[in-house]
Amino acid sequence: MQKPKSNQASVGSVQCENTTLNLLKVNDFVAKAIRERLPNILVINVCSSPGSGKTTLMQETGRRLRDKLNMAVLVGDPETERDAIRMRDVGINALQIVTGGMCHIEAQMIYQALDHIDLTGTDVLFIENVGNLVCPAAFDLGEDYRVTVLACTEGDDKPKKYPRMFLTSELLIVSKSDLLPYVPFSVEAVTKDARDVNPDIEVLSISSLKGDGMEEWCDWLTERVHAKKEKNTEKVA
């Protein structure tokens, strides 16, 4: 970015055209620093509405992969430490980020949190974002992948209502899939709408409680953990 000289503005009446000061630049700058700080750990930003089953999905993922992968979670919530406690219950290293009523997490909050969590030996770091499909979409947290969780009880019209979230996600997880027979939700329709917005998005149906789709999800994750490590080894070598 070309920096306009402020002394130019101090003579008479001046219009500073094309200053193009990016209001999100601070966030993007910090997000880049996070990527540089975690070259060997897969970072997944998990976004969704409140109550879509993010924490339950994380818990079940922890149970299934605890012998294969070391997992850590940064949990963002407006208040309370509850979700972090649920993670620690299943042996996942967890740190709560209490956003103090804020509707999203910003990169700076993640960067600071990294000083308070021991990630030695960690393979994958989840960022459980604040339950909200609007604001978190605008903030890069230095993640490798963004995963959006959408419960089938929420309705299949969300991709068109919250396009930016789906545009910026690599994977859409339709959660609570054991309830699909009881609700008017079409995985086909949601896939079509999500791909209208983002033709590259992958879609997985998962029931954390019954286990359907969990294996595919765990494979998806494990594959990417290894891919990132390999890429980093190549770079070092």
Residue closer to another protein, measured from CB, 101 or 121? 101
112 binds another protein per the rule CB under 8 A? no
Total site size for another protein, rule CB under 8 A = 37
Quick check: 52 and 133 in contact, CB under 8 A?
Answer: no
2 binds another protein per the rule CB under 8 A? no
The length of the chain in residues reads 237
CB of 2 to another protein, least distance (A): 11
4 binds another protein per the rule CB under 8 A? yes
Residue closer to another protein, measured from CB, 4 or 122? 4
Put residue 148 in one of left, alpha, beta given phi > 0 → left and psi -120 to 50 → alpha.
beta
88 binds another protein per the rule CB under 8 A? no
135 binds another protein per the rule CB under 8 A? yes
Q: What is the DSSP letter of 209?
A: T
Region of 13-21, 37-45, 88-96, 112-120 interacting with another protein (CB under 8 A) = 13-21
Put residue 78 in one of left, alpha, beta given phi > 0 → left and psi -120 to 50 → alpha.
alpha
Q: Contacting another protein (CB under 8 A), which of 78, 176, 200, 206?
A: 200
The distance of Cα 101 from the centroid of its chain, to the nearest Å, equals 19
Candidates 110, 171, 96, 100; CA nearest to 140 is 110
CB of 10 to another protein, least distance (A): 6
CB of 96 to another protein, least distance (A): 21
Sheet hosting strand 145-151, strand order edge to edge: 93-98, 71-77, 124-128, 42-48, 145-151, 171-175, 202-205
Residue closer to another protein, measured from CB, 1 or 236? 1
CB of 203 to another protein, least distance (A): 15
Q: What are phi and psi of 141, to 5 degrees?
A: -105, 15
Candidates 137, 144, 141, 81; CA nearest to 110 is 141
* Residues in region 180-199 near another protein by CB under 8 A: 195-199
16 binds another protein per the rule CB under 8 A? yes
Which parts of this chain interact with another protein (CB under 8 A)?
3-4, 6-7, 9-10, 13-26, 102-104, 134-135, 137-138, 160, 163-164, 167, 195-200
